[in-house]
Amino acid sequence: MEMPGERTKYAWRSHILAARAQVTPSEHAVEAAALAAAIGPLAGADDVVCAYVPIRGEPGDLRMLDALRVRDATVLLPVTGEPGPLSWARYEGADSLRKARFGLREPTTPTLPPETVATATTILVPALAVDRRGVRLGRGAGYYDRTLGAAGSGARLIAVVRDDELVDHLPEEPHDRRMGWALTPGGGLCELGR
């Protein structure tokens, strides 16, 4: 997905959200299955993976999280709170989720402090798009930009996007935290910034 000329983040967001609204349930299911298959091998029993439950047309579904759990990885999901770095809680399956603010689903397990992100070996980050340099476009609230500052230097930062949301160039601001990897349904895991 490319947009001609220089575009603002707002224009990119509008364009991508409109495109996502056109994805059929069957297309979404096929893409979600491909993401779950690609994500499982990324983690094992010694790994802590900070992830999220996809909502509102985001690529993927709970199968991604369950694929990590099958590998005995510890899966942590964000817990909503005041604007600032995200808190976390352990994912123990679909039955352990409750509805939360912003249409999110979050674990009912005990809440862990924001600095827990420093223990993660892999961090799956929701994105509307990511470019080949690693610049990620989120929804604009800044939760992940504030959170990722505490991530360990060795953590793999992976933006999860649809195939056409891996683009050549996005606008970047000084506070944006670059991703090292993109995970797409068709391409699997691909390194960024090289």
The DSSP string of the chain is ---SS---HHHHHHHHHHHHHT--HHHHHHHHHHHHHHHGGG--TT-EEE-----TT-S--HHHHHHHHHTT-EEEEEE--SSSSPEEEE---GGGEEE-GGG-EEESSPEE-GGGGGG-SEEEEE-SEEETT--EE--SS-HHHHHHTTS-TT-EEEEE--GGGEES-----TTPPPPSEEEETTTEEEE---
170 annotated ligand binder = no
Burial class of residue 43 in the structure, from the number of CB atoms within 10 Å of its CB (0-12 exposed, 13-18 middle, 19+ buried): buried
178 annotated ligand binder = no
Task: Record the tokens describing residue 136, joined without a space.
Answer: 């990620």
137 annotated ligand binder = yes
Check whether 2 has a pLDDT greater than 70.
no
4: pLDDT confidence band, cut at 50, 70 and 90? very low
53 annotated ligand binder = yes
Check whether 8 has a pLDDT greater than 70.
yes
167 annotated ligand binder = no
Q: What is the pLDDT of residue 67?
A: 96
**pLDDT mean across residues, the chain:** 91
Strand 111-112 relative to strand 87-90, pairing: antiparallel
Give tens-digit pLDDT for 60-119: 999 999 999 999 999 999 998 777 889 999 999 999 999 988 788 999 999 999 999 999
Check whether 39 has a pLDDT greater than 70.
yes
13 annotated ligand binder = yes
99 annotated ligand binder = no
140 annotated ligand binder = yes
136 annotated ligand binder = yes
Task: Indicate the CATH number for domain 9-191.
Answer: 3.40.50.10420
pTM: 0.92
Give tens-digit pLDDT for 141-174: 668 878 888 898 999 999 999 999 999 999 888 8
Q: Which residue type is seen at 130?
A: V
144 annotated ligand binder = yes
139 annotated ligand binder = yes
11 annotated ligand binder = yes
What percent of the chain is predicted at pLDDT more than 70? 95
Span 23-30, average pLDDT: 96
Check whether 140 has a pLDDT greater than 90.
no
Calculated CA dihedral for residues 71, 120, 80, 33, nearest 10 degrees = -30
Check whether 5 has a pLDDT greater than 70.
no
